Chains A and B, each alone.
Chain A
Amino acid sequence: MSVTKEVSKIKQTPQSDKIKQKPIVMYEDVHKSFGDVEVLKGINLQIKPGEKLALIGPSGSGKTTIIRMLMTLEEPTEGNIIVGDNNLWKVKKDGEFKRANEKHLRKVRGEIGMVFQHFNLFPHMTILQNCMTGPVQVKKESKASARERSIQMLEKVGLGDKLDNYPNQLSGGQKQRVAMARALVMRPRIMLFDEVTSALDPELVGEVLEVIRDIAQDGEMAMVLVTHEMDFAQEIADRIVFLEDGVIAEEGTPTEVLEQSTNERLQSFLHRFRSSNGN
């Protein structure tokens, strides 16, 4: 069976059963250029169902681009991204690979949800409408059921009393929690978080991390966190990937990457990072 072959390819870490499962996402030698500048230079990465992956690295190293390609917001210049049993950006037709059309992309991206650095809530909708619109429009769920689930989700992120407020009446931390509820209510199998706390005032970071911690309890949903919160990454990630200048320079368990690695670039990144944050 091909499953066992794939499993043997990845770096084995003595962990949970997650490792034994077939990956839900595979990047195969993915390259991405903007104009003449190659920002990703051959990414190979696998994500297991339910796995919590933290993506760290200096600014400009390509972290955002990696997850944006999975959300289909950016198209790889070369290589493959596989989600479940499907190629994301390509379809095989008459033995040849063709560029996927919007219909194919819609089918595959239904598995994926994303939370953005700058929230991107819909300002013309209330908080509740922001959450309901996905299930109602996209999943054709009944309004009553979408409403009920959205309210539950908003209560879960601590905003049950803000249902009828508009986004611009909320603080940054509250907005980001709405954004998480909006993505979660679509029940994705993979959730992407792009530096979701870095646009927030320091005193609001905690409440957002608290919600992510809570979401991470869900063992089924895979999560990819692009983050600068090292302590937080260490706490919730099964695996940490260090990206440097468009290549994966180090990966492993939090302990391996943050404490035991001898990779010099990682060391200097962590050093620079810790000193600039004053801890």
Chain B
Amino acid sequence: MNWKWDMFFDAFPFVLQGLGITVALTIACYIFAVVFGFVWTFLKRIPIKSVHWLVSWVMEFIRSTPPLVQLFFIYYALPMVPVIEISLNAFLSAVLGLGLHYSTYIAEVYRSGIESIPKGQWEASTALNFTRRQKWTKIILPQAIPPTIPMLGNYFIIMFKEVPLASTIGVTGILHMANTYGSHHFRYLEALTIVAIIFLVLSYPAAILVRKLEEKMNRRFDKNELLEENKGAVS
């Protein structure tokens, strides 16, 4: 099979039509995951054994089932489940499926951030008589979240690369467009290459950005340490 440039240029605008949907779906799934991640994190902290156990089990279940299976379940099977009988369109099914799946991972990111805060921070805020809410919003989360930002950025890129799964239930993103083009012209090579290029062109700079962010976070920490050392030397 040989490469055809005219095919490539012909397919390009067609495939590109799906980009808006792909990006929108990525963002929607991500927002769902980031918000719902918080829900898991707080549900898991409820100090009732049975609740903790149930939440952990549900999260584990979601995490160890393939996202594609979850997607199919939500799109095809959910409408048939008695009582629930919800039928969502393809886009919303993808948001729910992928968003829910990744929310369990993002909950872990939050958890690690929160658990990295020393017990002394909780105790100092108790000693100042903060309310529970103030402890979270003024003391714990402002310290716990910033260090997780690079990791959260990584999950955004992972989400972007996972979104083509939604083409299997008919979300008309770039992969879906490429497939449509391919089946019309009985040639997939150029169209699918375009999909790969688009992903590369968007993911790679994003990955670099995340790495820069990570370095910046680390440097900020180093700089403070350095300042402390310098002061020691001066005084």
* One of B121, B129, B227 near A106 (C-beta < 8 A): B129
Find the A residue at minimum CB distance from B124: A120
Given contacts A133-B138, A166-B224, contact A138 B128 (CB under 8 A): yes
Q: Indicate if A86 sits at the interface (CB-CB under 8 A).
A: no
Chain B residues with Cβ below 8 Å from A183 are 127-128
| Interchain CB contact under 8 A, A118 and B120 | yes
Q: Indicate if B231 sits at the interface (CB-CB under 8 A).
A: yes
| Interchain CB contact under 8 A, B127 and A138 | no
Chain A residues with Cβ below 8 Å from B134 are 137-138
Q: Indicate if B228 sits at the interface (CB-CB under 8 A).
A: yes
* One of B127, B130, B138 near A71 (C-beta < 8 A): B127
| Interchain CB contact under 8 A, B224 and A169 | yes
Q: Indicate if A232 sits at the interface (CB-CB under 8 A).
A: no
What is the CA–CA distance of A113 and B232 in the complex, to the nearest angstrom?
31
Size class of B's contact patch? 20 to 34
Q: Indicate if A1 sits at the interface (CB-CB under 8 A).
A: no
What is the CA–CA distance of A186 and B124 in the complex, to the nearest angstrom?
13
* One of B121, B227, B228, B235 near A122 (C-beta < 8 A): B121
Q: Indicate if B55 sits at the interface (CB-CB under 8 A).
A: no
Q: Indicate if B170 sits at the interface (CB-CB under 8 A).
A: no
Chain A residues with Cβ below 8 Å from B235 are 171
Chain B residues with Cβ below 8 Å from A60 are none
| Interchain CB contact under 8 A, A116 and B224 | no
Chain A residues with Cβ below 8 Å from B232 are 171
Q: What's the minimum C-beta distance from A197 to chain B, rounded to whole angstroms?
A: 17
Q: Indicate if B142 sits at the interface (CB-CB under 8 A).
A: yes
Find the B residue at minimum CB distance from A169: B227
Chain B residues with Cβ below 8 Å from A171 are 231-232, 235
| Interchain CB contact under 8 A, B129 and A138 | yes
Chain A residues with Cβ below 8 Å from B138 are 133, 137
Chain B residues with Cβ below 8 Å from A168 are 224-225, 227-228
Q: Indicate if A177 sits at the interface (CB-CB under 8 A).
A: no
What string of 1s and 0s marks CB contacts (under 8 Å) between B82-107 and chain A? Answer: 00000000000000000000000000
What is the CA–CA distance of A137 and B125 in the complex, to the nearest angstrom?
11
What string of 1s and 0s marks CB contacts (under 8 Å) between A94-111 and chain B? Answer: 000000001000100110
Within 8 A of B (CB), among A124-141: 124, 133-134, 137-138
Find the A residue at minimum CB distance from B118: A120
| Interchain CB contact under 8 A, A123 and B143 | yes
| Interchain CB contact under 8 A, B130 and A116 | no
Size class of A's contact patch? 20 to 34
Find the A residue at minimum CB distance from B125: A122
What is the CA–CA distance of A15 and B232 in the complex, to the nearest angstrom?
45
Q: Indicate if B218 sits at the interface (CB-CB under 8 A).
A: no
Chain B residues with Cβ below 8 Å from A233 are none
| Interchain CB contact under 8 A, B139 and A122 | yes
Q: What's the minimum C-beta distance from B47 to chain A, rounded to whole angstroms?
A: 13
Q: What's the minimum C-beta distance from B49 to chain A, rounded to whole angstroms?
A: 18
Chain B residues with Cβ below 8 Å from A114 are 127
Chain B residues with Cβ below 8 Å from A72 are 126
| Interchain CB contact under 8 A, A116 and B228 | no
Chain B residues with Cβ below 8 Å from A116 are 120, 123-124, 127
Chain A residues with Cβ below 8 Å from B65 are none
Q: Indicate if A26 sits at the interface (CB-CB under 8 A).
A: no
| Interchain CB contact under 8 A, B224 and A110 | no
| Interchain CB contact under 8 A, B128 and A186 | yes
Find the B residue at minimum CB distance from A168: B224
Given contacts A71-B127, A137-B138, contact A120 B120 (CB under 8 A): yes
Find the B residue at minimum CB distance from A106: B129
Q: Indicate if B64 sits at the interface (CB-CB under 8 A).
A: no
| Interchain CB contact under 8 A, B128 and A134 | yes
| Interchain CB contact under 8 A, B124 and A122 | yes
Within 8 A of B (CB), among A68-102: 71-73, 102
Q: Indicate if A54 sits at the interface (CB-CB under 8 A).
A: no
Q: What's the minimum C-beta distance from A59 to chain B, rounded to whole angstroms?
A: 19
Cβ contacts A to B, 24 pairs, < 8 Å: A71-B123, A73-B123, A73-B127, A102-B132, A106-B129, A110-B129, A113-B127, A114-B127, A120-B118, A120-B120, A122-B121, A122-B124, A122-B139, A133-B128, A133-B138, A138-B129, A138-B130, A168-B227, A171-B232, A182-B128, A183-B127, A183-B128, A186-B128, A186-B129
